[in-house]
């Protein structure tokens, strides 16, 4: 079961030009988004731990996004 609400992901897709989003496509968008967030979080956490922190900060996420993208 997905953690992200499908409706929110569909809304984002529509704001970015999608006229309609099929239910199967919405499910894949949610799954891929959650996968990306998981990878981003793991990398940001590594950076925070390397800096001696338990808290992920904005700069950790920004740096992680460059690696994960």
Q: Is residue 1 part of a domain?
A: no
pLDDT at 25: 98
CATH number (domain holding residue 19) = 1.10.20.10
Number of folded domains in the chain? 1
44 within domain boundaries: yes
Write the CA distances from 61 to 25, 54, 58, integer angstroms.
27, 13, 5
Q: Residue 35: CA atoms inside 13 Å, Cβ hemisphere, count?
A: 7
pLDDT value of position 52: 98
Token pair belonging to 33: 């988004």
From the number of C-beta atoms within 10 Å of its C-beta (0-12, 13-18, 19+), residue 9 rates as buried
Contact 34, 13 (CB under 8 A): no
Summarize pLDDT for 21-63 with one digit per residue, the tens: 999 999 999 999 999 999 999 999 999 999 999 999 999 999 9
């Amino acid at each position: 079961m997905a953690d992200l609400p499908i409706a929110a992901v569909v809304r984002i897709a529509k704001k970015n030009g999608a006229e309609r989003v099929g239910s199967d496509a919405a499910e894949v968008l949610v799954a891929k988004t959650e996968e990306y967030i998981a990878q981003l979080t793991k990398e940001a956490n590594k950076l925070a731990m390397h800096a001696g922190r338990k808290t992920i900060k904005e700069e950790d996420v920004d740096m992680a996004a460059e690696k994960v993208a």
